[in-house]
Amino acid sequence: LVWSESEKILPLLQDIQDFLASSRKRTVTEILDNVKAKILDKVKAGCIKSGDDNENNSDDGISEDGDFDDYYDQDDDDDDDDDIEGETIERGPKTKEDEEDDDEGGNFFGSDSSCVAVQRLMKDLKAFRKDGKKFGLDGGPRNDNLFLWDIKLIDIPESKLSKDLETFAKRHNTEPCINLEMMFPPDYPMSPPFVRVTTPRFKFLTGHVTIGGSICMEMLTKSGWTPTNDIENILVQIRCEILSDPNAQLDLNNANTAYTQSEARAAFQRMVQRYGWDKS
């Protein structure tokens, strides 16, 4: 998946391919550090000479002026575009359910995750970090796992739901937000992620949230999915779908009881069967 027309750079790219294909799990920082060490540092040291007399340009658009460094540092003009490694998502102690989620979600470079999926998720993450909060979205990957995200729907406009969220937040000393979990398949974006509410619990049949916490949207099934959807677009549509129900409200007597993944998947299966959507 990595290519160059330069015969001098190709051996370096092969080293990177071998690094990515190794069995050990890698973090975003490790990957970018390796790429930087293999290519950028050697370019700056003059180890790779371009056939062009223009010394400011090298093969594949990597310039000595630091274009690659700009991507590596992920600098954007938006002040909200935080470094990927610099922000953690507040989360309580890990439960048995969390461990099951981690196992099923796979880790950053699990054996069955594709480089295409990783590249797309990194691209989506960068865009999400830049603009997500503008659309009432916050969060990101859990523990450097690109295939498992924790998301918060924030800044809920005044409604029955917002009032319930404020009540819930005061009772349990937490934020007035809707917490989601996104699990991405190894072939993302060819297949949709599995998205579910974790907390708080909704009142039955409100907010387009199933009794198990999954989201009732055809877009999240094979029938309605398109690979052009990115993470920000998915979450904006989910947020709009939940807020489009004027009767959306919480089950305040049980709001702090988290939905489990097993009940979410069971409810999702019932939903696709009921509407004749394609889950697979």
Distance between CA atoms of residues 86 and 67, nearest Å: 21
Residues pairing with 138 in the sheet: 152
Active-site hit among 115, 177, 216, 240: 216
In this structure, are residues 214 and 178 in contact, taking their beta carbons and an 8 Å threshold? no
In this structure, are residues 248 and 242 in contact, taking their beta carbons and an 8 Å threshold? yes
Residue that is written with structure tokens 């907010």 in the block: 207
Evaluated on CA atoms 22, 23, 29, 30, the torsion sign reads negative
Question: Cβ neighbours of residue 261 under 8 Å, at least 6 residues apart?
Answer: 97, 100, 101, 104, 181, 196
Within 13 Å, how many C-alpha atoms sit on residue 114's CB side? 12
Distance between CA atoms of residues 159 and 165, nearest Å: 10
Catalytic (active site) residue 216: yes
What positions carry a catalytic annotation? 216
